[in-house]
Structure 1
Amino acid sequence: MKKLIFAIGVIILLLFAVTVFVPPYIEEQRNPVKSAPPYSVSPEAQALYDRLDFISDLHCDALLWGRNLRKRGDRGHVDFPRMREANVGLEMFTIVSKSPAGQNMKSNSADAFDNITPLTIAKGDPPSNWFSLINRTLAQAENLHKFIEKEEGQVIFVKDRTDLEQLISARKKDPSVVGAMLGIEGAHALEGELDNLDKVYEAGIRMIGPTHFFDNKLGGSAHGENGAGLTAFGKEVIQRMNELNIFIDLAHCSPAIVDDVLKMTTKPVMVSHIGVRAVLDSQRNLTDEQIKRIAANGGIIGIAFFDMAVGEPELEGIIESMKHVRDLVGIEYIALGSDYDGAVEVPFDITGLPLIVEGLMNAGFSEADIKAIMGENVKRFFLKNLDQ
């Protein structure tokens, strides 16, 4: 009996050690920052940054790693304290439920080993989440809600226009109030069940990308194997998303899905984190024709911060990508789409956003244009398109 008790104790200690040490180690390895904070810019750039009324980012995967977003982290890219330090008013927290081993830009199999399964177990999630994509998704959404509840009004969860208006009003009185939205990276999270779309809507999710790094029941990924457009089920999901007013995120979709969605959607689309082929010729990036069609749809394009979207050096690529979209369709379609905490190496964490302002100033962008890019476009887009 003593040996059994000892063995059980050892197992418990090992499980505790795995939960405490493994997820932070994985995150530190997967989300490096090329240049550590603090960051400095010219006095003129900092002054302009300090005048910005509303800063927003359209894509962050911080919920995946199990980190407490209420505490300032020494790893990763985003949390509530760093949002406040950077004066960021609104962050779109996106949920990753599955990611194929060997993930790359060109081709991934849907049957490849899932990287998120061991991470889910290591984080100490209950067994109900270990092999269920929808349960993982709802659990990450619930974790964000718990963080927000403990903030006692200092973080506002935005699911409709009224919430956004409340956030804008609250920040005028207290800039330390920040906002959070929820999205899903890849509708494989629905597990092929249309009813699950209503479940994630009830959880507050307002943006979903049909595909992520592999093909699924909705159709083809930009990084998948078949390059297909929307399946019959995919069209059902898009139609229901329109009915619920969940924004469609085209960031990882095959060109055929981009085409199909823009033909059938009755709502403006989003591209939460992307680059442009005119700057970096990558299969995940937008062509000029796609950019024009997204603009004609009234959509918005978040420019990503990592090298496989914008090239190297990243800051130069970010600015060039924004300049290209501006010159092609206009300033009003550009937003920040960092892909922070998305298993990518970035040049700076969220407290380094003044570097983008300095880069835009050096490239000749006006103050009005910089304000639009840094968040006013997102604010306008959501005020216009969110449900009341």
Structure 2
Amino acid sequence: MASPCGPGYPSGAMYGSPEARALHARSPAIDLHADSLMWSRWVGYDLHTRHDPPLPLAAIGGHVDVPRLREGGVGAQFFGLVSLPIGQRRGLAAVIHEQIDELDKAVRVAPDRLVKVRTAAEVEAAARRGAVAALLGIEGAHALEGEIAQLDHFARRGVRYLGLCHFSANEACFPAYGQGRRDVDGLTAFGREVVRRCEELGVIVDLAHINRRGFLDACAMATRPPMVSHTGVLGAFAHWRNIDDEQLRAVADLGGCVGVIFCPQFLGGDGLEPVVRHLKHIVDVVGEDAPALGSDWDGFIVPTRDLCDAARLPLLTDALLKGGFSEVQIRKLLRDNALRVIRDNPVPA
């Protein structure tokens, strides 16, 4: 039976070559961004049920669940916590806590299959147990509601990164695109306070969605490695959503990593080749210690057809092998680079 996700891939198949699957067994992938908990909060989406792949033109969600993460050799998933109805300014912290509650419930249902983690050691321990490690990251400092104390509350509940921006301005910064866009303005005074407090708490600063000025401001003051959880790169495709080589160098110089998104709109084409092209550009510009995976699954995107759900990730590994990436480079972008950034932003004892 043909899969609705893409031609030539039967439903329920094990995807990827034996070589690719063996690579995932040795280096279970870490994906830096999926918005699945948003759907759990809204419609009761069950992370433990294997869902059928969605139709291509309706594939704004339904890409991730624990069975398909395991099938695809994904050892750890960062779940993005989305708070922002455009224009709303209060009640956003509560929305984040509700999504964390959804993850906590899912972990209680099957702690042998899904475990909530904060540290690199816990990610590795989950892999040894054969469980999927779940990490949390907030998408947009709107969730702080202008109060730095909110960040402490979120960190205590296990949040490991804070995306400073989303699709509208907030008290910390301005978006690359969206409501309140102001390209000439960087981090606000509150934004600088947020970056400093993130580093004190071991919360990774995520630079997805923020405007270029704010992005470089955050890098200039950083003492810990940041990340860009889900993005494309301008050197591979010109789009407002993508970051340029100076931004790549700013993150790489700090020991950070850059997760490549799986959305054709930002990649410049459908299929695996555009994903490989963006990853290759990062390697060519700043080396093999920077690229990572940032799917944006379940985030109101239609993913590239070959990566329309988590089970298909080994297909990308095959494309990387065919594209000349070495095993060392692939293991770094699948897992090691993200794991290093987690480790280099230690959670206080």
Is 1:185 aligned with 2:139? Answer: yes
- Decide whether the 8 Å contact of 2:260 with 2:275 is kept in 1: yes
Q: Secondary structure, in 3 states, of the residue corresponding to 2:49?
A: coil
Distance 1:230 1:166, change over 3 A: closer
CA deviation string 1:35-70 (max 9, x = no partner): 674466664544544543321100000000121112
What is the alpha-carbon distance in structure 2 between the residues aligned to residue 237 and residue 81 of structure 1? 36
Pair 1:276-2:252 in alignment: no
Q: How does 1:107-146 map to 2 (within 5 A)?
A: 111=87, 132-146=91-105
- 1:368 match: secondary structure: helix
Q: Distance in 2 between matches of 1:241 and 1:317?
A: 33
Partner of 1:157: 116
Which runs of structure 2 are paired with 1:39-188 in the superposition (5 Å)? Answer: 43=17, 45-49=19-23, 51-66=25-40, 67-74=45-52, 75=54, 76-100=62-86, 111=87, 132-160=91-119, 164-172=120-128, 174-175=129-130, 177-188=131-142
Give the C-alpha shift of residue 363 in structure 1.
0.6
2:214 to 249, 257, 264: 257
Is 2:128 aligned against 1:198? no
Supply the AA of the counterpart residue of 1:194: I
Residue 281 of structure 2 aligns with which residue?
Answer: 324
Structure number having the greater helix percentage: 1
Aligned residues of 1:45 and 1:354 also touching (Cα < 8 A): no
Structure 1 residue 382 and structure 2 residue 342: aligned?
Answer: yes
Deviation at 1:95, TM superposition (A): 0.6
Deviations 1:294-345 (A, max 9, x none): 1101111001100122111242111001111111111111111100100000
Q: How far apart, CA to CA, are the structure 2 residues paired with 1:362 and 1:90?
A: 25
1:336 correspondence with 2:293: yes
Cα distance in 1 for partners of 2:225, 2:343 equals 13
Larger Rg: 1
1:225-264 to 2 correspondence within 5 Å? 225-227=181-183, 228-264=185-221
Distance change (3 Å), C-alpha of 1:140 and 1:33? farther
- Percent identity of equivalent pairs: 36
Q: Deviations over 1:117-140 (max 9, x none)?
A: 9xxxxxxxxxxxxx6111001110
Structure 2 residue matching 1:332: 3-state secondary structure: coil
CA distance in 1, matches of 2:340, 2:195: 23
- Match of 1:58, SS? strand
**Which of 174, 177, 183 is equivalent to 1:223?**
177
1:386 partner amino acid: P
TM-superposed CA distance for 1:367, in Å, is 1.4
Question: TM-score of the superposition, structure 2-length normalised?
Answer: 0.87
Amino acid in the other structure paired with 1:203: R
TM-score by length of 1: 0.79
2:256 to 280, 299, 303: 299
CA distance in structure 1 between the partners assigned to 2:5 and 2:301 by the alignment = 9
Counterpart in the other structure of 1:7: none
Cα distance between partner residues in 1 of 2:252 and 2:152: 28
Partner of 2:242: 285
In the alignment, the residues of structure 2 paired with residue 264 and residue 192 of structure 1 have an alpha-carbon distance, to the nearest angstrom, of 20
CA distance 1:93–1:135, shift in 2 (3 Å): same
| Range with bigger deviation, 178-187 or 144-153 | 144-153
Q: CA deviation at 1:368?
A: 1.6
Aligned residues: 325
Structure 1 contact 276–286 (Cα < 8 Å) conserved: yes
Match of 1:20 in 2: none
Q: Which residue of 2 aligns with 1:350?
A: 310
Indicate conservation of the 8 Å contact 1:41/1:358, yes or no. Answer: no
The structural deviation recorded for 1:153 is: 3.7
User: d(CA) in 2 for partners of 1:149 and 1:316?
Assistant: 39
Equivalent in the alignment of 1:211? 165
Structure 1 residue 380 displacement after superposition: 2.8
**Are the equivalent residues in 1 in contact too, given 2:21–2:314 (CA < 8 A)?**
no
Please report how far the alpha carbon of residue 231 of structure 1 lies from its aligned counterpart in structure 2 after TM superposition.
Answer: 1.0
Q: Residues 259 and 42 from structure 1, CA distance in 2 versus in 1: closer, same or farther, beyond 3 angstroms? A: closer
Give me the whole-angstrom Cα distance separating, in 2, the residues matched to 1:215 and 1:39: 43
Q: State the distance in 1 between where 2:150 and 2:125 align.
A: 33
